[in-house]
Structure 1
Amino acid sequence: MMEFGSFDEKTAQEKTEPEPLAGLTQREAAERLEKYGRNRLPEPPMAGPLRIFLRQFLSPFIYILMIAAIVSFMLGENPSGIFILAVLILNAVIGMIQEYSAQRSAAALRNMVKGVTHVIRDGIGLSIDVEELVPGDLVILSSGDRVPADVRLVSSHNLAIDESMLTGESLAVSKNAGAEVEEDALLSERVNQGFASSIITHGRAQAIVTATGTSTEIGKIATHVTQERTSEPPLMIRIKNFTYQVSAGISVAIFILIIIMLLKGSYSIEAIILMTIGLAVSVIPEGLPVALTVALAIGMERMAKCSVIIRKLIAVEALGSCTFICSDKTGTLTVNELTIRRIVLPDGHVIQVSGEGVAPGGEIHGDTELRHLRELCVAGVLANESHLNYAKGEWISDGDIVDIAFLVLAKKLGMSITELRRQQTQLELIPYEPENAYCGSVNFDGDTKWLYAKGSPEKMLEMCDQMETVHGPVDIERHLIEEQFESLARQGYRVIALAKREVVENHHHKMEQMSFLGMVAMIDPVRKEAYDAIRRCRLAGIEVAMITGDHPSTAKSIAVELGLCKEHERVVTGTMIRQAMTKDPEAADDLIRPARVFARIEPQQKEQIVDSFMRQNHFVAVTGDGVNDAPAMRRANTGIAMGKRGTDVAKETADLIITDDNFASIVAGIEQGRVVYNNIRKVVALLVATGFSALLLFFMTVIAGLPMPMIAVQLLWLNLIANGLQDVALAFEPKEGNELVCKPRSPDEPVFDKRLVEDILVSGIVMGGLAFLLYYLALQSGESITMARNQTLMLMVLFGNIRALSSRSETRSIFSLPLRDNWFLTFAVPIALLVHVSAMYTPWISDVLQIQPISWEQSVQLVLMALILLVVEETHKWYQRRRARF
């Protein structure tokens, strides 16, 4: 593609041979279309549903269960085989749906460059499909157009382009075809170029297409977005590790058990195989995928009530795992609307202005009747091309955001914009030109012609020899005004100065001998809710950094106000990162590690920042609303898009969307994400503990030389009754209230941490030990094997119920957790028990399961034995709470 940014205007025109103003010939355009391809963005790689479905079977759990299913069918145990296959297929379908829905992340990017554009070919103006544009085409651009490709301006008039979607800069960028820029200039500094998909806010231009399709800046972003995400969600990492650990443990344990049974010589091969199948199904937590999906789905529903929409189910928990949030400034931490906060009059009067956005709410603190204050406001309204109207219950603005800020100020002062413009007829408009750095308007009030101007303070001072005061115009004190300006600039304000003079000559553009009216300090105000949200993030152990394309002084001012950094701390700029990256990643890490404010950052650099924090072992969430945020959002562990202001690209790339653009909603999402993970741990604690107890029971039985304590079909039934409803019910547990006072989990923290392993061992040993004791005593007392197994199965069902209730919290007592907080579990426990008791009295079921009713005396004994588990677990929790205090 062509590089024009560093060429001067004449050289750029010469590049459109043979005739610059005639554009390309149709023949040349066709040849270039063949060479460079169509002006469109890449299609994302798509995997078909079948391929995604088959991928779901790549898991050690699945391998073991598939072998168990095959062996079951070979031995004629069809119910067992069908049961196992049903679980496998359900798990695969759920996984396929989740993964297939994530493949549309680049669709909005392709839509952004579709449409019609105006070009000159063979000296004739034409309207063509945007996809037919080629490098070298001469395009005509005007206000309201979307720039169709990357271009080098050939001529421009009063041109400004909104590039916030690419650069993060909240203000439209004034463009100048005659400007020269360095070859390695930042995007925000390339004032002689335009970029695909940015919006022309006002003015017109002719430009040469320099890049199309994937070679454009947005095309480079699209290429990044369509690539596979390099980072896995933390839950997937933990579950994967958990799967391998449990699979290996179960395989080794069952292998050892088989060896012992073979050495004993009292068990037939068929009995050993059936026991292995039943035990594998009972011990393997195959219910985890379903419970996991339910937990995530419940979390997704709860997050939706907090204005957080989840696009990818696994992102529910990922948000709760993040240790670092990289937040966009414009539109995320701020409202993305310039607001006048301070008015500084030449005689030293300072007027404070409150409120934010285009709504004229707020107060003016100061003498609002000052004559020169109102004259300043008149100048801001008349040297103005924008409009502000109230319709359908809201304020609607149209035009440049600087102009709109002056209209809002007029409303706050109680001035009628319509009446003011009617009283002072506009005779001539002096449009804003970048090289002039001001705009103006000549108006007639019925008696006198007035020239009003506004622009940069430096330019306005050059034009003025007087300044307005309470006592009228006096000689200007430049040093005083310069000090005021420098003070405002250091505080991160965008400063606009205003001036006026009476027009007595015919030359309206004579910009001299004017009277300085004062300066206004504007800022894109911080969202009110952002302060508390950042405080709560820190309370939860989550660091927050602000990444923006704005000027460093503006970024630092906002960051200090939010408490993200101190006055003495450094702002890291894109230039600094570029220089560090030329050395090595470690130098970049050293630069980025302590920083919490990043300014003048380009999209690729935002990715580099995310990569750096991820190398530092952080799980990173990236928020944003523009195209410039998309690559970093894709790169990060979790991408968060703003719903109201977010572009389609940002929303499609994100894992979740904040519908109210409220940074505080992220905190609510983090809390729910942590609730989801805690509930998943509760499910794991239930499933693994009951499975471990069954494994321990069989080990002790085989070592003692006793018959198997349960047959294969009883193990399958126990797995269904003890865990089938209760594990899913635990996914409905509400928050415990301490989620946001705990530090984030380490990315390397396994599901089986010390606390969970200890809990599983304690409960598993108690359940397995007591079940073996019951089975042994029953046989010793002369009970038949069938009755001994019947009582053992009943005890294991009771254990499952108590274990489910106890698993509601890892540390809190079961008696401190109201049953009404989880009605699903409250009903699931007695229903599971009722189903098992009913099976005892249902002939055909009892025959298959080889169970029968038990006496009341036996029932009481079993309940008392089951309550031992409750006593042990309550004692263990008390010990954990006591240990945590010391």
Structure 2
Amino acid sequence: GHHLVEITTIVLLFAAAISAYLAITTGYGWAKVVVILGIVVLNMVLGIYQENSAEKALAALQSMNAHLTTVVRDGVRMQVDATELVPGDIIEIVAGDMIPADARIISSSSLQVEESALTGESVPVEKDANAVVSEKAPIGDRLNMLYSGCLVTNGRATAVVVEIGMETEMGKIAGLLNSTSKLVTPLQLRLKELAKRLSIVALLAGILIFIIDVYVYGETIIETLMIAISLAVAAVPETLPVIVTLTLAYGVQNMVRKNTIIRRIPAVETIGNTSVICSDKTGTLTQNKMIIQQIWAADHTPIKATAEFDTAEQKVLEMLSLSSNATIDVTDGEETIIGDPTESAIIRLLEEKGTTKKALEAKYPRVFELPFDSDRKLMTTIHQVEDGFLSITKGAFDRIPVNFSAEFLKEAEQVHDSFAEEALRVLVVAYKKY
């Protein structure tokens, strides 16, 4: 529809009609009619094709959110399609689940949810069923609520569904996206202006020639009319829309290669004109994925995580991995790491260096754990080994209890500061055998 009402298209159709009239009355030839109509059709086909493929991509994104969820109905636990939930349903969720609807937590244990899609905060939020939340609190502070489309990174919970579908916070965002008015891009505005001006110039030139020919040279009116109209049609740049559309379509294809969905072709030019994008937060802009950059084993020099690891560095990495709760989930042969972003980065590096978390856990079974505590800023795990127990503590540099020589501490501090200066987030791990 909207492809037909653009000014250039209207002018072209008008030109085609006149050319067809000329072809019928004067044997002027049909070539021009065919070319002009071909251009109009090509323009529309390209526009419609692009919008369809963008719609398909958007539909694929939406269908990604369709999944099963565990619900308790009449005391019976069952798996239902997330789309079948109704307010009042009791749902059970565990680490790794996508939250299927907005829900109020009834009970939870060490529950953490990653809400970057709603809040932009890439660090998971610790939830608390008993939190007292004021009714004016923004989404990020509602610690007793779960929101549709967010990922559970840790723990488990039972919750009661309060909103579904378009009424959820995610749904409201989708609603806002649907109700945006279609703005005309700067390029479309400029093209419209150009088409208008050219059409007016062509029209005036035609009229002028008609007047001069009839009144000055005394030509017959019909023949002069034909000449004037032909000249006016010739002045209209019928290939302009096609050239513009093709150029933009090429730009859109380039963006597609970079995994960007563009719904309407002209929008690509607007993006090209953008010089500053103001936005907030990390998780929503980047891949929301932490990667280990450098590692330092005592008595060695710090090395990049991509370098070859010696036994000492491997040991540091293994100790970090053992005291991490991130897990690897295999679905359809695809491995995904679920858990806190920092811990996921540790496990990812461990796998890259050729060791699996499973093998490590089999070798050093965990027998006890003191979970990460925001007061202690540390997490401790105890593992059984052949001749006793191994205690591993990981956490903030200034909190690890140390009884080392002064010069070693000084060296550690220097390494810590050099890492911190590169804006890296520093984790320390210490272990002891009992």
Once the 2 structures are TM-superposed, how far is the Cα of residue 230 of structure 1 from its aligned partner?
A: 3.9
Query: Structure 2 residue aligned with 1:98, among 24, 47, 63?
Result: 47
SS at match of 1:338: coil
1:307-706 alignment to 2 at 5 Å? 312-315=264-267, 317-325=269-277, 329-330=282-283, 336-341=289-294, 352-355=302-305, 361-362=306-307, 377=317, 379-386=319-326, 399-407=339-347, 421-432=361-372, 438-456=378-396, 461=399, 466-469=401-404, 492-499=423-430
Once the 2 structures are TM-superposed, how far is the Cα of residue 149 of structure 1 from its aligned partner?
A: 0.9
> Could you tell me whether the CA contact under 8 Å between 1:430 and 1:439 is conserved in 2?
yes
Q: Show the counterpart of 1:62.
A: 12
More helix by share: 1
1:754-773 alignment to 2 at 5 Å? none
Once the 2 structures are TM-superposed, how far is the Cα of residue 109 of structure 1 from its aligned partner?
A: 5.0
Distance 1:225 1:172, change over 3 A: same
> Could you tell me whether the CA contact under 8 Å between 1:160 and 1:203 is conserved in 2?
yes
Letter in 1 for 2:209: L
Aligned alpha-carbon RMSD (Å): 4.6
Query: Structure 1 CA distance, aligned partners of 2:378 and 2:176?
Result: 39
Deviation string 1:498-517 (CA, Å, 9 cap, x unpaired) is: 455666xxxxxxxxxxxxxx
Once the 2 structures are TM-superposed, how far is the Cα of residue 251 of structure 1 from its aligned partner?
A: 1.4
Once the 2 structures are TM-superposed, how far is the Cα of residue 246 of structure 1 from its aligned partner?
A: 0.8
> Could you tell me whether the CA contact under 8 Å between 1:134 and 1:212 is conserved in 2?
yes
Query: Structure 1 CA distance, aligned partners of 2:95 and 2:414?
Result: 37
Q: Does 1:248 align with 2:200?
A: yes
Query: Structure 2 CA distance, aligned partners of 1:199 and 1:126?
Result: 21
Deviation string 1:803-854 (CA, Å, 9 cap, x unpaired) is: xxxxxxxxxxxxxxxxxxxxxxxxxxxxxxxxxxxxxxxxxxxxxxxxxxxx
Deviation string 1:143-181 (CA, Å, 9 cap, x unpaired) is: 232110122222111322333444444444333323344
> Could you tell me whether the CA contact under 8 Å between 2:109 and 2:157 is conserved in 1?
yes
Once the 2 structures are TM-superposed, how far is the Cα of residue 317 of structure 1 from its aligned partner?
A: 4.5
> Could you tell me whether the CA contact under 8 Å between 1:386 and 1:403 is conserved in 2?
yes
Query: Structure 2 CA distance, aligned partners of 1:108 and 1:435?
Result: 43
Q: Show the counterpart of 1:87.
A: 36
Query: Structure 2 CA distance, aligned partners of 1:470 and 1:416?
Result: 35
Q: Show the counterpart of 2:98.
A: 146
1:195-274 alignment to 2 at 5 Å? 195-228=147-180, 230-264=182-216, 266-274=218-226
Letter in 1 for 2:291: L
> Could you tell me whether the CA contact under 8 Å between 2:127 and 2:143 is conserved in 1?
yes
Query: Structure 2 CA distance, aligned partners of 1:211 and 1:310?
Result: 29
SS at match of 1:136: coil
Query: Structure 2 CA distance, aligned partners of 1:116 and 1:126?
Result: 10
Once the 2 structures are TM-superposed, how far is the Cα of residue 141 of structure 1 from its aligned partner?
A: 0.9
Query: Structure 2 CA distance, aligned partners of 1:139 and 1:112?
Result: 20
SS at match of 2:25: coil
> Could you tell me whether the CA contact under 8 Å between 2:289 and 2:341 is conserved in 1?
no
| Structure 1: segments with no counterpart, 5+ residues | 1-50, 356-360, 504-886
Deviation string 1:378-434 (CA, Å, 9 cap, x unpaired) is: 542322234689xxxx99856544224445666899999777645533223444577
Query: Structure 2 CA distance, aligned partners of 1:398 and 1:139?
Result: 20
Once the 2 structures are TM-superposed, how far is the Cα of residue 83 of structure 1 from its aligned partner?
A: 3.0
Once the 2 structures are TM-superposed, how far is the Cα of residue 62 of structure 1 from its aligned partner?
A: 3.3
Letter in 1 for 2:171: G
Q: Does 1:121 align with 2:61?
A: no
Query: Structure 2 CA distance, aligned partners of 1:315 and 1:196?
Result: 30
SS at match of 1:55: coil
> Could you tell me whether the CA contact under 8 Å between 1:235 and 1:314 is conserved in 2?
yes
TM-score between the two structures when normalised by the length of structure 1: 0.41
Once the 2 structures are TM-superposed, how far is the Cα of residue 119 of structure 1 from its aligned partner?
A: 2.3
- Kindly name which structure, 1 or 2, has the bigger radius of gyration based on alpha carbons: 1
Query: Structure 1 CA distance, aligned partners of 2:170 and 2:351?
Result: 39
> Could you tell me whether the CA contact under 8 Å between 1:176 and 1:434 is conserved in 2?
no
| Structure 2: segments with no counterpart, 5+ residues | none
SS at match of 1:131: helix
Once the 2 structures are TM-superposed, how far is the Cα of residue 339 of structure 1 from its aligned partner?
A: 1.2
Query: Structure 1 CA distance, aligned partners of 2:139 and 2:175?
Result: 18
Query: Structure 2 CA distance, aligned partners of 1:423 and 1:415?
Result: 12
Once the 2 structures are TM-superposed, how far is the Cα of residue 86 of structure 1 from its aligned partner?
A: 4.9
Deviation string 1:424-478 (CA, Å, 9 cap, x unpaired) is: 33223444577876543221222222333334567xx3xx7x414269999xx9x
Q: Show the counterpart of 1:8.
A: none
> Could you tell me whether the CA contact under 8 Å between 1:106 and 1:225 is conserved in 2?
no
Once the 2 structures are TM-superposed, how far is the Cα of residue 268 of structure 1 from its aligned partner?
A: 0.7
Give percent identity, aligned residues only: 25
SS at match of 1:177: coil
Q: Does 1:276 align with 2:276?
A: no
Once the 2 structures are TM-superposed, how far is the Cα of residue 81 of structure 1 from its aligned partner?
A: 6.7
Query: Structure 1 residue aligned with 2:239, among 287, 290, 293?
Result: 287
Residues 51-60 or 442-451, more deviating: 51-60
Deviation string 1:626-649 (CA, Å, 9 cap, x unpaired) is: xxxxxxxxxxxxxxxxxxxxxxxx
Query: Structure 2 CA distance, aligned partners of 1:102 and 1:240?
Result: 21
Once the 2 structures are TM-superposed, how far is the Cα of residue 219 of structure 1 from its aligned partner?
A: 0.9
Q: Does 1:132 align with 2:84?
A: yes
Query: Structure 2 CA distance, aligned partners of 1:412 and 1:111?
Result: 32
Deviation string 1:864-883 (CA, Å, 9 cap, x unpaired) is: xxxxxxxxxxxxxxxxxxxx
Q: Does 1:177 align with 2:129?
A: yes
Once the 2 structures are TM-superposed, how far is the Cα of residue 266 of structure 1 from its aligned partner?
A: 0.8
SS at match of 1:454: strand
Letter in 2 for 1:153: I
Q: Show the counterpart of 2:22.
A: 72
> Could you tell me whether the CA contact under 8 Å between 2:116 and 2:284 is conserved in 1?
no
> Could you tell me whether the CA contact under 8 Å between 2:382 and 2:389 is conserved in 1?
yes
Once the 2 structures are TM-superposed, how far is the Cα of residue 279 of structure 1 from its aligned partner?
A: 0.8
Letter in 1 for 2:68: V
Once the 2 structures are TM-superposed, how far is the Cα of residue 65 of structure 1 from its aligned partner?
A: 1.7
Once the 2 structures are TM-superposed, how far is the Cα of residue 284 of structure 1 from its aligned partner?
A: 1.2
Deviation string 1:227-248 (CA, Å, 9 cap, x unpaired) is: 4564333332221111111111
> Could you tell me whether the CA contact under 8 Å between 1:342 and 1:353 is conserved in 2?
yes
> Could you tell me whether the CA contact under 8 Å between 1:154 and 1:177 is conserved in 2?
yes
Query: Structure 1 CA distance, aligned partners of 2:416 and 2:140?
Result: 24
Q: Show the counterpart of 1:667.
A: none
Distance 1:383 1:65, change over 3 A: same
SS at match of 1:61: helix
Query: Structure 1 CA distance, aligned partners of 2:163 and 2:352?
Result: 46
Deviation string 1:72-100 (CA, Å, 9 cap, x unpaired) is: 37x72465577336513531452254146
Query: Structure 1 CA distance, aligned partners of 2:353 and 2:249?
Result: 51
Once the 2 structures are TM-superposed, how far is the Cα of residue 276 of structure 1 from its aligned partner?
A: 1.7
Distance 1:404 1:130, change over 3 A: closer
SS at match of 1:118: strand
How many pairs align?
Answer: 425
Query: Structure 1 CA distance, aligned partners of 2:94 and 2:335?
Result: 26
